């Protein structure tokens, strides 16, 4: 009667839709995580993300042990190794939660086919555990898929939400027998490796500790304080005004229903319309996450390039030196460099700065947004196909967003959102002693730059802006 529950982006026991169904069917439920070489050996993996994920798996193993069961770790291609293991263990079913990503959908279909062949049960329905609403449930009046956020939000926010559920019988799970343990080992299960064992070493601190407890505490702390000023504070990269929950949400270390419930409670406890507006602004960010996941599900072609025709054959430049300078935070534009250094040093970047550097890469350096998108995936602790692709397509103006050309001026962004130059000083240490005005406008003479080994601006914003607009006009006319 054994059921294997395959964890992927749901590294928790609490309020886990698919796991609850598995436990309702059998008391012998063993967790399974598959270290997939297709993912781990791809060229868009970040050491910091693997480190966080391994930490979360370790913590999930402890939770399983406390519940009387265990989390098996399998190393191998899931399409082959999971059906093989399930069959060797004579498992009745392998169950899991669904995912929107194209790779995941294709992999799951192959796993299902292999399980079917062996007479092993698989999920009967799509468990959209990581979303508040299934992609199929959010449709416009005419039944179409939303491509614009605001009408999506209006519909999505009105729909009743499910609240977190305790999983019954979780405390009385059975484990594998000794014989079964041996069979599992003979069929590919391994000890949980460290990130370093997998070739991904991250020695820096993590912005959030791995595991369910840390995520829950972070949510509570945020909902107690920063959420009440979120609307204003979320835009200032020097201020700790956002939740830092993105890695936990990416790996499902916290359930999205738990997060939503916390916002509803915060709304109930709020005394002023102003506070309510702040909380609602954060809810809208949660909805952006879903908007992009629904978009990826409905338009998987987003993963491979521009959505808009104007950008499908855009004559992007291929200046590797400019790209390198951008990656290293050496463009000579202080706010851009501060942001890229924050990313390189911490594995995370503030949202305002993600928009600034993405606009700079595409509209100032005229480089292909896919270069930036990939670099982000190679560095971000929260790197996530749907959110990252959505953010890059938005910034490059190549996505579903109807605004034609959005160009950020780095100097005005810095003046508005880092008015004291605090963020720039934190990350661009060679500019620490400069006058705030110089930091913000970038008006630093060549001699001054030379003295502190800070580079000259690699391009002229005004010139590049004109160039970009010209190219955009040309492309539009061609269509
Ligand atoms: P908060 O402000 O506290 O927001 C709460 C949660 O809402 C976040 O944790 C996240 O899950 C979600 N969220 C917030 N803003 C967005 C958004 N614009 N799009 C989608 N979800 C959002 N987010 C990722 O999780 N992974 C990525 O790989 C990613 N890449 C991005 C690339 C670019 C170019 C841009 C402009 C944005 C990207 N974002 C990405 C969105 C956003 O920057 C991060 O989610 C946010 O900075 C995470 O910090 P936080 O948890 O403190 O966010």
Distance (angstroms) between ligand 1 centre and the Cα of 7 equals 23
DSSP 3-state of 95: strand
- pLDDT of res. 43: 97
Distance (angstroms) between ligand 1 centre and the Cα of 198 equals 27
What residues does CATH 1.10.579.10 cover in the chain? 309-478
Q: Could you tell which of 246, 281, 408 is best to mutate to test the pocket of ligand 1, judged by most ligand atoms within 8 Å of the CB?
A: 246
Query: pLDDT tens digits, residue range 417-460?
Result: 999 999 999 999 999 999 999 999 999 999 999 999 999 999 99
- Give the mean pLDDT of 353-380: 98
CA-nearest residue, atom 29 of ligand 1: 388
Nearest to 172 by CA among 253, 66, 272: 66
- pLDDT of res. 403: 77
CA-nearest residue, atom 44 of ligand 1: 351
CA-nearest residue, atom 37 of ligand 1: 391
- pLDDT of res. 278: 97
Query: pLDDT tens digits, residue range 76-116?
Result: 999 999 999 999 999 999 999 999 999 999 999 999 999 99
ipTM of the complex as predicted: 0.99
Distance (angstroms) between ligand 1 centre and the Cα of 318 equals 28
Cα(112)–Cα(114) distance, integer angstroms: 5
Nearest to 63 by CA among 93, 92, 30: 30
The token pair at 392 is 């890059």
Nearest to 58 by CA among 275, 211, 187, 176: 211
CA-nearest residue, atom 48 of ligand 1: 246
The token pair at 322 is 């400019």
Number of other CB atoms surrounding residue 239 within 10 Å: 17
Cα(255)–Cα(288) distance, integer angstroms: 16
User: pLDDT grade, residue 352 (50/70/90)?
Assistant: very high
Task: State the residue for tokens 């290293």.
Answer: 328
User: pLDDT grade, residue 172 (50/70/90)?
Assistant: confident
Q: Could you tell which of 130, 236, 285, 303 is best to mutate to test the pocket of ligand 1, judged by most ligand atoms within 8 Å of the CB?
A: 285
Residue 163, burial from CB neighbour count under 10 angstroms (0-12, 13-18, 19+): exposed
- pLDDT of res. 401: 78
Task: State the residue for tokens 């956020």.
Answer: 149
The token pair at 239 is 């201020």
Look at phi and psi of residue 183 and say left if phi exceeds 0, alpha if psi is from -120 to 50, else beta: alpha
Per-residue pLDDT at 402 exceeds 90: no
Strands 189-190 and 71-75: antiparallel
What residues does CATH 3.40.50.620 cover in the chain? 1-129
Cα(202)–Cα(251) distance, integer angstroms: 18
Distance (angstroms) between ligand 1 centre and the Cα of 387 equals 7
- pLDDT of res. 67: 94
Nearest-atom index, ligand 1, CA of 357: 34
Average pLDDT, the chain: 96
Enumerate the known binding-site residues for FAD.
230, 242-246, 282, 285-292, 382-384
- pLDDT of res. 222: 97
Distance (angstroms) between ligand 1 centre and the Cα of 312 equals 25
Q: Could you tell which of 9, 278, 284, 289 is best to mutate to test the pocket of ligand 1, judged by most ligand atoms within 8 Å of the CB?
A: 289
The radius of gyration of the chain's CA atoms, rounded to the nearest angstrom, is: 24
Range with lowest mean pLDDT among 290-299, 307-316, 334-343, 377-386: 307-316
- pLDDT of res. 479: 83
Say how many CA atoms lie within 13 Å of 165 toward its Cβ: 14
Pocket around ligand 1: residues whose beta carbon is below 6 Å from it?
234, 242-246, 249-250, 285-286, 288-289, 292, 351, 354-355, 358, 376, 380, 382-384, 387-388, 390-392, 395
Query: How long a stretch of residues is the chain?
Result: 479
Query: pLDDT tens digits, residue range 23-67?
Result: 999 999 999 999 999 999 999 999 999 999 999 999 999 999 999
CA-nearest residue, atom 45 of ligand 1: 246
CA-nearest residue, atom 11 of ligand 1: 246
Cα(356)–Cα(343) distance, integer angstroms: 13
Nearest-atom index, ligand 1, CA of 246: 9
Is 72 in contact with 189 (CB distance < 8 Å)? yes
- Give the mean pLDDT of 204-208: 97
Query: pLDDT tens digits, residue range 118-146?
Result: 999 999 889 999 999 999 999 999 999 99
CA-nearest residue, atom 43 of ligand 1: 351
Instruction: Find the largest Cα–Cα distance for the chain.
Output: 75
- pLDDT of res. 188: 96
Is 405 in contact with 472 (CB distance < 8 Å)? yes
- pLDDT of res. 445: 96
Strands 29-35 and 71-75: parallel
Enumerate the known binding-site residues.
230, 242-246, 282, 285-292, 382-384
- pLDDT of res. 98: 96
CA 293-297-300 angle, 5° bins? 115
Strands (E), 194-313: none
- DSSP category for residue 307: S
Nearest to 192 by CA among 382, 344, 369, 62: 62
Domain 130-163+212-298, architecture per CATH: Alpha Horseshoe (1.25)
User: pLDDT grade, residue 69 (50/70/90)?
Assistant: very high
Query: pLDDT tens digits, residue range 3-27?
Result: 999 999 999 999 999 999 999 999 9
CA 395-377-355 angle, 5° bins? 25
The token pair at 179 is 């014989």
Nearest-atom index, ligand 1, CA of 394: 36
% the chain with pLDDT above 90: 96
Per-residue pLDDT at 231 exceeds 90: yes
Q: What is the CATH number of domain 309-478?
A: 1.10.579.10
- Helices then strands, counting H and E runs in the chain, come out as 22, 5
- CATH number for 1-129 (one of 3.10.20.810, 3.40.50.300, 3.40.50.80, 3.40.50.620): it is 3.40.50.620
Cα(163)–Cα(186) distance, integer angstroms: 41
What is this structure's pTM? 0.98
Nearest to 413 by CA among 346, 355, 331: 355
Cα(418)–Cα(398) distance, integer angstroms: 28
Per-residue pLDDT at 404 exceeds 80: no
What residues does CATH 1.25.40.80 cover in the chain? 130-163+212-298
Chain-centroid distance, C-alpha 315? 29
Instruction: List Cβ neighbours of 123 (8 Å cut-off, separation of 6 or more).
Output: 18, 21, 95, 96, 97, 98
Strands across the sheet containing 189-190: 93-96, 3-7, 29-35, 71-75, 189-190
Instruction: List Cβ neighbours of 182 (8 Å cut-off, separation of 6 or more).
Output: none
- pLDDT of res. 171: 87
Instruction: List Cβ neighbours of 127 (8 Å cut-off, separation of 6 or more).
Output: 17, 18, 21, 96, 97, 98
Chain-centroid distance, C-alpha 42? 17
């Amino acid at each position: 009667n054994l059921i294997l529950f395959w964890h992927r982006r749901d590294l928790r026991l609490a309020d886990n839709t698919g796991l609850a169904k598995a436990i309702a069917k059998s008391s012998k439920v063993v967790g399974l995580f598959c270290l997939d070489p297709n993912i781990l050996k791809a060229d868009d993996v970040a050491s910091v993300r693997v480190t966080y994920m391994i930490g979360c798996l370790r913590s999930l193993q402890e939770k399983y042990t406390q519940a009387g069961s265990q989390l098996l770790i399998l190393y191998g291609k899931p399409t082959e190794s999971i059906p093989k293991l399930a069959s060797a263990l004579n498992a009745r079913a392998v169950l899991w939660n669904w995912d929107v990503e194209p790779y995941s959908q294709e992999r799951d279909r192959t796993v299902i086919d292999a399980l079917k062949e062996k007479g092993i049960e698989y999920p009967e329905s799509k468990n959209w555990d990581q979303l508040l609403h299934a992609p199929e449930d959010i449709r416009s009046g005419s039944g179409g898929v939303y491509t614009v956020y605001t009408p999506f939000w209006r519909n999505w926010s009105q729909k009743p939400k499910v609240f977190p559920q305790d999983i019954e019988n979780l405390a009385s799970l059975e484990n594998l027998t000794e014989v079964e343990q041996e069979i599992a080992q003979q069929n590919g299960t391994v000890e949980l490796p460290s990130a370093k064992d997998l070739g991904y070493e991250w020695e820096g601190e993590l912005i959030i500790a791995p595991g369910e407890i840390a995520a829950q505490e972070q949510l509570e702390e945020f909902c107690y304080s920063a959420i009440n000023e979120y609307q204003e504070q979320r835009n200032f990269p020097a201020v700790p005004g956002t939740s830092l929950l993105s890695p936990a949400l990416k790996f499902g270390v916290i359930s999205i229903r738990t997060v939503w419930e916390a916002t509803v409670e915060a709304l109930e406890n709020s005394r002023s319309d102003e506070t309510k507006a702040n909380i609602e602004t954060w809810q809208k960010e949660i909805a952006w996450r879903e908007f992009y996941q629904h978009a990826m599900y409905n338009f998987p072609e987003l993963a491979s390039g521009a959505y808009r025709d104007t950008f499908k054959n855009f004559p992007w430049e291929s200046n590797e030196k400019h790209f390198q300078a951008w990656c290293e935070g050496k463009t000579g534009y202080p706010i851009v460099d501060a942001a890229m250094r924050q990313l390189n040093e911490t594995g995370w970047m503030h949202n305002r700065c993600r928009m600034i550097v993405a606009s700079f890469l595409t509209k100032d350096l005229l480089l292909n947004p896919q270069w930036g998108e990939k670099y982000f995936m190679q560095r971000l602790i929260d790197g996530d196909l749907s959110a990252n692709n959505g953010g890059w397509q938005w910034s490059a103006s190549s996505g579903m967003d109807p605004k034609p050309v959005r160009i950020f001026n780095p100097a005005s962004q810095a003046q508005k959102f880092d008015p004291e130059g605090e963020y720039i000083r934190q990350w661009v240490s060679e500019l620490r002693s400069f006058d705030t005005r110089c930091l913000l406008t970038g008006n630093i003479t060549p001699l001054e730059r030379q003295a502190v080994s800070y580079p000259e601006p690699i391009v002229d914003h005004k010139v590049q802006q004109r160039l970009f607009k010209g190219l955009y006009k040309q492309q539009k006319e061609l269509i």
